[in-house]
Structure 1
């Protein structure tokens, strides 16, 4: 009897001891085995490829080509322009004159990539105030121009004038269009005038290569009755241009200015590149 109870007790003890092991074999949620994923089973992380660095080369900086415009005989005018605006003919006028064409001149220079500057000084108005004669115009203008040249650097300086010659001398017909002719005046009464002459010759040849015959060429002046210097001794790149004559129209002057601006660009800017 005791032996039978002992066997039962032993079987019960064995059953209770084995119970946790048996329960662990059932697929209960909390009994699922978790195994550490191997490195090969880990999800792959895909990184975006780095964008290639594109280096854009900088455009070479082009120094400005500064052109200074001067009008020593600032009240020289053109008869057709004065007549159109005032109903009268005059070769000198305080308002409608060569000085008043500066915006048009600036426009064509800028179209060709040039940087225009204006000597903001009405010489002939100043001459009246100081009671200077016509032949003293360059003397009145000289200190003003000298100051501009001292304070800034210019690649070209042009003193624009209107010629007193008649229309047949100052007008060219080319390609069914009419142009105001130009002429280059060089004062030969200062030691370095040949440098100014070289500038004038180069530009005269260039405008004629664009529109043959538009330049009347070089006029060297010296001797009695002329200035002979024209303030060109202040710098070798100072030019005096006779820009059309008393009978030229505004349209003719505009066509010529377009040619002149192009010639300056070709002769002094493109040739230097």
Structure 2
């Protein structure tokens, strides 16, 4: 008890010292730093309180062992001495985009090679498709047979790959209205159909809709949400949803070799800015685990993104079995991409039929 009281007094003295030092230096501590509801700050505060009341430690069973000084610094300054990124995030504009949560780290995955999302360059080639962006949804859905159980769509439908774009070498121009990630969605759909699973692939030109409405690229998910909600309203039997993208990392990050064959690596993105994201996360982790068992190294992992780094929801609040899958990067060719889609198809099929068995039981 005496030791705990001493630690508590020491922590209070340190806090007062830091506040005094900041006050005399003229630096302001923002309300956001003091009262941010960020999980790290909450855990730091609970940790300090648990030094006096040990029962509170049960609220943070997974909290890393740390010192009183480290906990105080985390609470006051948002700096985590065990994470160097926190020293720079508040000072360098845009660095907060690298604050993704790595739920499952794939082979070689760390904070130096997190996924990158880039909008189309202003010099991107345009075609007649650009003027047709605001079609009705039913005119943009292809490969529909009966009542589909799996819905595949593309919020960033024009993300493309340099090897399929004639004469294009600039990664910033790896976007195209025709040759793009929708090719992967169609292949995934075709593969699942061959395995007896009805699917619907939505090739709505989301970027075309953005252009027509005068919206910026970050609004892509708001627009795709309109189409997804409208579709789900009339199709209540959908069991899974996949939003297929590609990353903007170079080939050395987005490619691996398995059994002497080259595969585009993929990863899963879970939006954590809605109450039920744990269901999406469980789904993503299961698919990731099964993929890694059969194709070691094919996945870069499972990442969580909040509204601080992007949309933060990604339509995943609409269905428990919903996730973003980013396949390859701008330098991957179709052979590599197709091999990965084929591998993914097998895992999704196994999951689907296993779920069907559980329902029958």
Which TM-score bucket, shorter chain as reference?
0.7 to 0.9
Q: Matches of 1:91 and 1:133 in 2, distance apart?
A: 18
SS at match of 1:159: strand
Structure 1's unaligned 5+ residue stretches are 1-63
Q: Corresponding residue for 1:174?
A: 258
Unaligned stretches of 5+ residues in structure 2: 1-146
Alpha carbons 2:188, 2:341 under 8 Å: kept: yes
Q: 2:337 maps to what in 1?
A: 253
Residue of structure 1 equivalent to 2:230: 147
Task: Tell me if 1:116 matches 2:199.
Answer: yes
> How many equivalent pairs are there?
208
Q: Select 1:157's aligned residue among 224, 227, 241.
A: 241
Shift of 1:69: 0.5
2:175 counterpart SS class: coil
Q: Is the 1:71–1:161 contact (alpha carbons within 8 Å) kept by the matching residues of 2?
A: yes
Match of 2:311 among 207, 224, 227: 227
Query: Partners in 2 of 1:120 and 1:76 — Cα distance?
Result: 12
The question of whether the paired residues in 2 share the 8 Å contact of 1:108 and 1:261 is answered with yes
1:135 counterpart = 2:218: yes
| Deviation digits for residues 68-95 of structure 1 (CA, Å, limit 9, x no counterpart) | 101000000011111xxx2323311122
Alpha-carbon distance in structure 1 between the residues aligned to 2:203 and 2:250: 29
Which structure has more relative contact order (CA 8 Å, sep 6+)? It is 1
SS of 1:260's equivalent in the other structure is helix
Secondary structure of the equivalent of 2:270?
Answer: strand
Relative to 1, partners in 2 of residues 1:190 and 1:130: Cα closer, same or farther, differing over 3 Å? same
Q: Are 2:154 and 1:68 aligned?
A: no
Answer whether contact 2:184 2:337 (CA < 8 A) is retained: no
TM-score normalised to structure 1 length: 0.72
Deviation at 1:65, TM superposition (A): 7.1
Deviation string, structure 1 residues 214-244 (Cα, Å, up to 9, x no partner): 1111100114231111111111111100111
Q: Shift of residue 203 of structure 1? A: 0.7
Alignment match, 2:41: none
Give secondary structure in 2 for the equivalent of 1:217. Answer: strand
TM-score w.r.t. the length of structure 2 is 0.55
- 1:119·1:148 contact (CA, 8 Å) conserved in 2? no
Pairs within 5 Å for 1:199-218: 199-218=283-302
1:91 and 2:178 are equivalent in the alignment: no
**Deviation digits for residues 102-121 of structure 1 (CA, Å, limit 9, x no counterpart):** 33222222222222201241
Poorly superposed stretches of 4+, deviation over 4 Å: none
* 2:263 paired with 1:196: no
Q: Specify the SS of the correspondent of 1:261.
A: helix
Q: Which has the larger radius of gyration?
A: 1
